[in-house]
């Protein structure tokens, strides 16, 4: 009886090891003839350049492809969101980037004079929210326009399993904590919230 039990355990262990080996796959990264970076679990064509391989578990292969694509896009076209607690437009803007898992930096121009100055210098305006994707600037919240800009910059349309948390630009905030009275005196005027996008009416 004990011998049979031992063989059953060994068989189960062997099956588990084989299943683990079978699920291990390779993600390929390369640059195609048009200069675009591609990712796939299939080997690249013969004319591919800069081929890289990475072994991952089969269950996580799509997540790795998504994370790698987002990382590449971030290096070429970093995303900055200029936003505050302005209501529907700002909530929609923040929610969309978080839902899509876009790595980005948040600048709230109402929190310090330094951040307000940065907002005005970077955007040239007084209306929020503003999205910067690389050198491209979009004022006002529009899901279709923002989606097109992010797609063009190479950001994946689906979020990775582990979504990155937004980075907060904290320029001037530490000084404001040390001297709250001065910070209140020098508090910048809040930018004008952009109107929410028009809702489509049924004809």
Geometric angle at alpha carbon 28, from 57 and 15, rounded to 5°: 25
**Does the reported pTM lie above 0.85?**
no
pLDDT, position 61 = 45
* Superfamily of chain region 77-193: Glutaredoxin (3.40.30.10)
Pick the closest to residue 35 from 146, 154, 117 (CA basis): 154
Low-confidence spans in the chain with pLDDT less than 50? 4-22, 58-61, 183, 201, 203
pLDDT, position 24 = 54
pLDDT, position 33 = 83
pLDDT, position 37 = 75
Tens-place pLDDT, residues 56-100: 554 444 555 567 788 888 999 999 999 999 999 999 999 999 999
Length of the chain: 203
pLDDT, position 16 = 46
Query: Which spans in the chain are helix H?
Result: 2-23, 61-76, 88-100, 113-123, 143-152, 173-178, 180-185
Pick the closest to residue 26 from 49, 54, 51, 46 (CA basis): 54
Q: Which residues contact 116 (CB under 8 A, 6 or more apart)?
A: 109, 110, 188, 189, 191
pLDDT, position 184 = 55
pLDDT, position 58 = 47
Q: For the chain, how far is it from start to end, CA to CA, in angstroms?
A: 76
pLDDT, position 46 = 87
């Amino acid at each position: 009886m004990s011998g049979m039990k031992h063989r059953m355990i060994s068989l189960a262990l062997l099956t588990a090891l084989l299943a683990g080996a079978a699920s291990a796959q390779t993600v390929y990264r390369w640059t195609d003839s048009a200069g675009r970076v591609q990712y796939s679990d299939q080997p690249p064509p013969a004319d591919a350049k800069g081929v890289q391989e990475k072994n991952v578990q089969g269950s996580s292969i799509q997540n790795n492809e998504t994370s790698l694509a987002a990382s590449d896009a971030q290096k070429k076209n970093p995303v900055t969101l200029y936003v505050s607690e302005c209501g529907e437009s700002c909530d929609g803007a923040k929610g969309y980037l978080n839902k899509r898992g876009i790595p980005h930096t948040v600048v709230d121009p109402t929190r310090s004079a330094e951040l307000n100055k940065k907002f005005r210098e970077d955007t040239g305006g007084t209306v929020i929210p503003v999205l910067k994707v690389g050198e491209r600037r979009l004022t006002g919240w529009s899901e279709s326009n923002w989606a097109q800009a992010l797609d063009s910059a190479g950001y994946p349309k689906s979020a990775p399993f582990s979504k990155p948390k937004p980075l907060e630009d904290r320029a001037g905030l530490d000084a404001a904590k040390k001297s709250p009275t001065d910070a209140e005196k020098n508090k910048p005027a809040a930018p004008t919230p952009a109107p929410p996008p028009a809702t489509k009416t049924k004809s």
